[in-house]
Structures are given as C-alpha cells and as structure tokens.
C-alpha cells in the first residue's frame, strides 16, 4: 500500500490488479470523477489524475505521471463530436489511452460515443482476433471491463493475411453502430506494403471525418500518410511521453485474460455439421472422395483421413508431414489446386460462433470428425448457425499453442 500526493495537473498510471481510494481532494480516471476503483483482472492500465492538490491510496503497481493529459487530447475532443475519427499509430503509441480519454470526456458532458476496436491482437473491447463495437454512454474504468454490442470474427491475433476481413469487419460494425461520434482503434501494423494497403483501404471503407496519426518519432508515419487517399483529413500528433510500454509477455498475458473473460461461461457443445455452415475454410464445400485415400497415402507418404473434391480444388486432411513437391505434381496432373491440412492444426482451433450476420461468441474445437459430420466445441454459447474457423490454436487456459496455416483448407 502506498499513499501518493497529486498536485494540480499530475497523475499516476495504475496497472492491474490494483485498488485505489481518494483520501483527500478529487481525482479523475480518464475524465470521470472517482472516489475509489478496484480492478482484479490483469492487463488493464488506468490513468488517474487530479485538477487540484489531492491524496490517494493505492494497492498495486503505480507510476507517477508528470504530464498525464497532452493538450491535443482536449483538442481532439472538440474534433470528435458527431464525427468519425480513425486513430493510427505504432504499438504503444497511446491509441487506446487517447480513445478512453476522449470518450470519457464526451460521455461526462452527456454525449454517447461509439467505439470500434479493430486491434485484433490487443483488443480493449472484445476477445482476441475479433473486431468489436460498443456504444458507451456511462462511466467506465476501462473498455476491457465492458461487453461489446457487436463483434466481427477475424480469427487471428495479427491482421497479416487477413486484410479483406479487417476492412469488411470495420465497415460492417461502423454501419451497425450508426451515426454520431465514432472512435476507431486500429492495429500497430504500419510497416510494409500490406500494412500501407490495409490502412488505405480501411480509410476508404470507413470514410472517417478525421484520421489521427500518432507518431512516436517525428515522421515515423509519413509513409502511411502519403499512402492515404488525398481527400482524407489528417491530423498528426506526437505520442504521449508517458505512454506505458508493454512487453510481448505482458501482451500475451493480457490476451489470455481477455480470452478467459469471454470464455468464463463456456460449456461443451456437440454440433451436427449438417445443420450449420463452416466459414473461413474449404472443408465440406466439395464432394467426399474417401476412395482416393489409399492412392494419396502412397503418393504423399502420409496417413490421409479426409478427401473432398470441388470443380476448383482437391482438399486433403492428413497426419504426418507431406512432401510439397509431390503435392505440386498432383496439382499439375489434376489441373486444379490441391490444399492440404494437418489434422493437428484443427485441434484446439479458435472459432467464431456466428448467428445471422453477427458473431455472438467464441470457442475452441475439441474434436472435428468430418466423416460423421460431428464436432465437439468448448463454446461460450450454443445458439449459432455457422462456425467461422480461426487461425490460432488455444488451450482451455487461453495459451496460444499453435496456428492453422493460411494455406490450410
């Protein structure tokens, strides 16, 4: 336990788990007046500051912040009202803190703010690998403690290889939350040609009134600015000096916490694959061809457990490691794409639970039996009509244990 004295305009950054009590004076969490805060969930940073001399008592990790509120945060509050604002910046540039301060100040003045979080690797609003959106009109401590109103499943903790779903998901959720003030958070993926393309087409699809580039060093996002459409109104600012950096291990632990948060009421669900649609996969889109199994086993030197054929492809699930040269040879002979998937890559695979147009929950595959058209899931709900296969494999504790390759069916 530590007692901290705050002078006018100074603050502290708290990292959960923590407890805070205001002993004297007043304090704000983001822009909400607070008397006490208690957060048990790990992976949450909260900015507390004061507009007068105050005294607070803290149990937990705390760091003094001399200049907690950059002047441009308050300027952005004025810019954001009834507009769509898109924030772009590197990892640890302060995008999330900016959004929480701007949203909290607008909400404190009686406004409602829609937040769209497309940072699939470090989401503040939804589970890992999901674009999430929520309209917020009441006091909050941190977005991670809220339940999203809408979700769009991407299925990976990186946007690499998923540029189209990233753009479509942002557009869909933005349209769903409707008009008014919107704040869009994005990933820290800003370097390389795919990153430039992602930001450009996300701007075109989202159509923001303002794009905020948060630079950690002067000019470090110039390449992104010059890749955006010329009609985009861009504001360049510098990252807050007091941004809390997060290690790779800390980010992984935070993802585990969010996974656990959204899976806390999960149960085992048995699924008849004849009754639902599989998305993000080629599986069960063709005709079963198990009669090819023996020949393919000899050609590929692997145990073949599933084969299906479509006009454009041959899909094979196998055990063991296949010879890619032989796969390419079969593809040339058949004059169609041959797609291989290792059975292990579908065990503990992260999935989105889709009902209608909406992701209503997440789960992991415990067993996938294509021959009997059955699947066993650990799922947060049993009310869905489609399964969107993801690309990350989690154990039941939320540890990442592998990937489904982008080339897998």
Task: Mark whether 275 and 337 lie in a shared domain.
Answer: yes
Count of domains for the chain: 3
CB-based contact 334:328 (threshold 8 Å): no
Task: Mark whether 142 and 11 lie in a shared domain.
Answer: no
Residue found by looking up tokens 């810019």 in the block: 79
Q: 27 pLDDT exceeds 70?
A: yes
The band of 251, judged by pLDDT with boundaries at 50, 70 and 90, is confident
Who contacts 150 (Cβ-Cβ below 8 Å, separation ≥6)?
132, 133, 134, 173, 176, 177, 358
From residue 409, alpha-carbon distances to 199, 315, 316, 344, 348 in Å are: 27, 7, 8, 13, 16
Task: Mark whether 405 and 287 lie in a shared domain.
Answer: yes
CATH, residue 313? 2.40.30.330
- Count the helix, strand and coil residues of the chain and give each as a percent rounded to the nearest 5: 25, 40, 35
Give the domain range for residue 45.
2-65
Q: What is the pTM of this model?
A: 0.94
Could you tell me where the beta strands, DSSP code E, fall in 234-302? Answer: 234-238, 267-272, 277-279, 287-288
Task: Mark whether 92 and 222 lie in a shared domain.
Answer: yes
From residue 319, alpha-carbon distances to 296, 302, 341, 345 in Å are: 12, 6, 9, 10
pLDDT higher at 134 or 397: 134
CATH, residue 56? 2.60.120.1030
pLDDT higher at 214 or 262: 214
Which pair of structure tokens corresponds to residue 132? 């999430």
pLDDT for residue 237: 95
Task: Mark whether 234 and 338 lie in a shared domain.
Answer: no
pLDDT for residue 243: 62
CATH, residue 134? 3.40.50.300
pLDDT for residue 119: 95
The arrangement of strands across the sheet holding 84-89 comes to 150-153, 130-136, 113-117, 181-185, 84-89, 210-215, 234-238
The pLDDT tens digits of the residues spanning 356-380 come to 999 999 999 999 999 999 999 999 9
Residue where a domain stops, chosen among 201, 227, 261: 261
Which pair of structure tokens corresponds to residue 135? 């309209």
Residue where a domain stops, chosen among 65, 85, 109: 65
Task: Mark whether 241 and 185 lie in a shared domain.
Answer: yes
The band of 87, judged by pLDDT with boundaries at 50, 70 and 90, is very high
Task: Mark whether 141 and 200 lie in a shared domain.
Answer: yes
Task: Mark whether 251 and 320 lie in a shared domain.
Answer: no
Residue where a domain stops, chosen among 35, 65, 95: 65
């Amino acid at each position: 336990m530590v007692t901290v004295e705050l002078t006018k305009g100074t603050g502290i950054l708290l990292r959960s788990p923590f407890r805070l009590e205001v002993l004297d004076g007043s304090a704000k969490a983001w822009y909400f007046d607070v008397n006490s805060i208690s957060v048990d969930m790990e992976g949450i940073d909260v900015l507390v500051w004061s507009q007068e001399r105050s005294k607070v008592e803290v149990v937990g990790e705390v760091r003094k912040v001399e200049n907690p509120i950059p002047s441009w945060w308050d300027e952005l509050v004025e810019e954001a009202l009834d507009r769509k604002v898109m924030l772009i910046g590197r990892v640890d540039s302060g995008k999330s803190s900016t959004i929480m301060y701007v949203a909290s100040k607008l909400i404190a003045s009686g406004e409602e703010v829609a937040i769209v979080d497309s940072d699939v690797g470090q989401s503040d609003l939804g589970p890992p690998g999901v674009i999430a959106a929520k309209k917020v009109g009441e006091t909050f401590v941190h977005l991670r403690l809220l339940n999203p109103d809408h979700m769009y499943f991407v299925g990976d903790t990186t946007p690499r290889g998923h540029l189209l779903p990233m753009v479509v998901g942002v557009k869909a959720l933005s349209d769903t939350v409707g008009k008014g003030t919107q704040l869009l958070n994005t990933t820290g993926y800003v370097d390389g040609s795919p990153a430039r393309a992602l930001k450009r087409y996300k701007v075109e699809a989202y159509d923001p009134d303002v794009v905020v580039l948060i630079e950690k060093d002067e000019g470090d996002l110039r390449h992104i600015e010059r890749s955006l459409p010329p009609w985009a109104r861009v504001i360049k600012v510098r990252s807050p000096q007091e941004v809390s950096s997060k290690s790779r291990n800390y980010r992984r632990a935070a993802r585990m916490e969010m996974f656990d948060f959204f899976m806390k009421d999960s149960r085992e669900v048995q699924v008849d694959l004849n009754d639902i649609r599989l998305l993000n996969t080629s599986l069960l889109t063709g005709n079963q061809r198990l009669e090819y199994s023996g020949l393919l086993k000899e050609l590929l030197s692997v145990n073949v457990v599933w084969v299906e054929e479509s006009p454009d492809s041959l899909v094979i699930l196998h055990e063991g490691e296949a010879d890619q040269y032989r796969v390419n040879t079969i593809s040339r002979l058949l004059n169609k794409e041959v797609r291989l998937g290792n059975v292990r890559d579908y065990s503990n695979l992260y999935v989105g639970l889709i009902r209608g147009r909406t992701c209503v929950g997440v789960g992991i595959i415990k067993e996938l039996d294509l021959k009997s058209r059955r699947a066993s899931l650990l799922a947060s709900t049993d009310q869905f009509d489609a399964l969107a296969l993801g690309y990350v494999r989690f154990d039941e504790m939320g540890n990442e244990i592998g990937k489904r390759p982008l080339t897998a069916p």
